[in-house]
Structure 1
């Protein structure tokens, strides 16, 4: 997705976010190149860059001259210019990490909390955030992002069954998160957060059109189009785990039977009575069917397999796709495998969750965040978040 500036109302803060996002994605980059990419004048970009430097979000570097004249200064994100906390809640427990603007994990922590109630979970989250932000006392903490299993707002599927947060129906997630942490708060499905983390810091940076298949307690996935996660009309696109694939198969808590995640998920593996290798051999035909369905629906450059499963397990599953079904992805001109294993590892969810908070300040791509911020009449970028 091309980042473009605007002269419309609220254009100034929007343009700052455009410029900063361009530096974050393409840096080190010169002012003139930013102007060309985003469609603003060099003068406008220079004014914005000066402001961002003063606020500590970016750094300006200049190489030693190799001939006549000075080479242009290039700009990059200041990794220590701000931090965000990523949180991931699963039916097993809660993970959290403090992450800088470059996506580096400063520290991470985990609390076992099987089937935690909202009150217990947010008490733990508040304590974990305090523990993490103390590591950068005085640093600028932009916000906190929460990832948890979806879907949201579907009566028969949301917060029902062992792969979701049972008992969390009607919880005011954003408000509870903000109250427990004292930070600007955002939330997203874990599969979308993981895809975002992989796009920013993993294999996804190499592709503009790919499908991220999230192998967690349940199974989900999202299509990343032009670098943006496709969320659907109600934000629930990607619940592939609830595609019925086995006629007359196992009953699923969603009300259907034979759903994909009843056979292909960490919860399904937990119920298996044999070795991991035997389980992979058992589910391989179902997995290959799932790959063909995804490819024919979305025509991705590749399917990136990631999530909470170990790299060894993901590699076993990827290896089981040597004899894939024919699909629109079975092209002679392919230059990449049809299925690849994510590089971001299990931190992808936390990085993606933290990126939600960072993007609430830096990125124009999150329309709902930008609109909400505009309605509040606040400029989070200029106010600089909250000091730890």
Structure 2
């Protein structure tokens, strides 16, 4: 969706976000190009750019002269202009990371808390956020994003079973997160957060369209099209783990039998490999993974499928090796530039994606609308705080 500015009274917080998001997505970029993209005058854009430079959000660079006249300055995001906390809460515990605007992990911490309840989780989250924020005492903390297992709002499936946060039903998660941290709070399904992080900072940045297969405690996936993760009518698209693949198979907490994540997930691996060994488990799940890959390809036609998540890198490699050769599908093309199934190293995609959701949320024009009602409220716009100002107590 195109970002467009407004000439309405008190529209500066909105326009400020429009300009900043345009620089974040398209930078380095000139004033004139920004003005054309957002539909504002160069004078208005120049005023906003001056504010953003003073606030430390952006960096200006003048190109070397290549002919007559002076080249225009270009503007890009300053990685140290702001920070966000990414959180990942799973049935195993909590991971947290401090991320800058370039998606770099500045620091991380975690708590092993099997079956963590909400009260304990938010107490620990407060401690984690305090500790990570202290790594940048003069930094501007924009917000906190928390990734957690889905789906959301489905009575028979949400917070049900060993791959979810059992006992969290009816917990006002966003409100609790905001209260615990004193920061603008955003919630995302872990599979979508991982896909978002992969698109921005991982192998997904090389592809216009790809499918991220999230191998976490459970199993999920997200199709990223034109840089946007497809979310569905209620934001729960991607629960591929609950597709029945084995007729009359193992019972699943969702109420069906033979669901994919009962065989292919971290929970399934740890449960089954203990009984039969890793090699036997790989042989057992290889046909199931092949079927999943072909199904994804025939449904979404991605440039590639990126397999990532919480699984150790060596196990990801073994899974991909076990799945070869892949059956025929619409992805079986002679002009491919990427393999059909590749792995994403590291476990940072969820944390970086959760932090990016917070940054995008705070910088989004819709968030800025909250501060356009009066000059008094505009003065409290969180992205215009002094960089050294501490976050709310």
TM-score norm. by structure 1 comes to 0.91
Is 1:362–2:377 an aligned residue pair? Answer: no
Tell me, which stretches of 5 or more residues in structure 1 are unaligned?
A: none
Equivalent residue number for residue 235 of structure 2: 235
* 2-structure distance, mates of 1:106, 1:5: 33
- 1:25-44 equivalence runs, <5 A: 25-44=25-44
* 2-structure distance, mates of 1:186, 1:7: 26
How far residue 190 of structure 1 moved from its aligned partner, in angstroms, is: 0.6
- 1:36-55 equivalence runs, <5 A: 36-55=36-55
Equivalent residue number for residue 194 of structure 2: 194
How far residue 257 of structure 1 moved from its aligned partner, in angstroms, is: 0.3
Equivalent residue number for residue 292 of structure 1: 294
8 Å contact kept, 2:59–2:77: yes
How far residue 234 of structure 1 moved from its aligned partner, in angstroms, is: 1.2
**Cα deviation per residue 1:319-338 (whole Å; 9 max; x = unaligned)?**
23432222222223322211
Q: Which shifted more, 313-322 or 163-172? A: 313-322
**Cα deviation per residue 1:197-221 (whole Å; 9 max; x = unaligned)?**
1111111112222111100000001
* 2-structure distance, mates of 1:292, 1:69: 56
How far residue 53 of structure 1 moved from its aligned partner, in angstroms, is: 0.9
Equivalent residue number for residue 253 of structure 2: 253
8 Å contact kept, 1:3–1:22: no
How far residue 194 of structure 1 moved from its aligned partner, in angstroms, is: 0.7
8 Å contact kept, 1:219–1:241: yes
- CA 1:20–1:330 in structure 2 vs 1: closer, same or farther (change >3 Å)? same
Equivalent residue number for residue 350 of structure 1: 351
* 2-structure distance, mates of 1:56, 1:130: 23
Equivalent residue number for residue 319 of structure 1: 321
* 2-structure distance, mates of 1:129, 1:54: 27
Q: Which shifted more, 72-81 or 57-66? A: 57-66
SS of 2:358's equivalent in the other structure is: helix
8 Å contact kept, 2:6–2:14: no
* 1-structure distance, mates of 2:234, 2:167: 21
8 Å contact kept, 2:5–2:38: no
* 1-structure distance, mates of 2:246, 2:369: 43
- CA 1:336–1:172 in structure 2 vs 1: closer, same or farther (change >3 Å)? same
- CA 1:68–1:307 in structure 2 vs 1: closer, same or farther (change >3 Å)? same
Equivalent residue number for residue 3 of structure 2: 4
* 1-structure distance, mates of 2:2, 2:130: 35
- 1:42-121 equivalence runs, <5 A: 42-65=42-65, 68-121=68-121
Equivalent residue number for residue 214 of structure 2: 214
* 2-structure distance, mates of 1:370, 1:240: 35
**How large is the Cα RMSD of the aligned pairs?**
2.3
Tell me, which stretches of 5 or more residues in structure 2 are unaligned?
A: none
8 Å contact kept, 1:86–1:97: yes
SS of 1:22's equivalent in the other structure is: helix
Is 1:127–2:127 an aligned residue pair? Answer: yes
Equivalent residue number for residue 390 of structure 2: 387
**Cα deviation per residue 1:139-175 (whole Å; 9 max; x = unaligned)?**
1111111111001111111101110000000000011
Q: Which shifted more, 120-129 or 30-39? A: 30-39
- CA 1:17–1:165 in structure 2 vs 1: closer, same or farther (change >3 Å)? same
* 2-structure distance, mates of 1:294, 1:73: 44
- CA 1:205–1:95 in structure 2 vs 1: closer, same or farther (change >3 Å)? same
8 Å contact kept, 1:81–1:101: yes
8 Å contact kept, 2:13–2:368: no
- CA 1:68–1:375 in structure 2 vs 1: closer, same or farther (change >3 Å)? closer
- CA 1:42–1:301 in structure 2 vs 1: closer, same or farther (change >3 Å)? farther
8 Å contact kept, 2:23–2:76: yes
SS of 1:387's equivalent in the other structure is: coil
How far residue 280 of structure 1 moved from its aligned partner, in angstroms, is: 2.1
Give the aligned length.
383
* 2-structure distance, mates of 1:103, 1:325: 36
TM-score norm. by structure 2 comes to 0.90
SS of 2:347's equivalent in the other structure is: helix
How far residue 312 of structure 1 moved from its aligned partner, in angstroms, is: 1.5
- 1:131-280 equivalence runs, <5 A: 131-272=131-272, 273-280=275-282
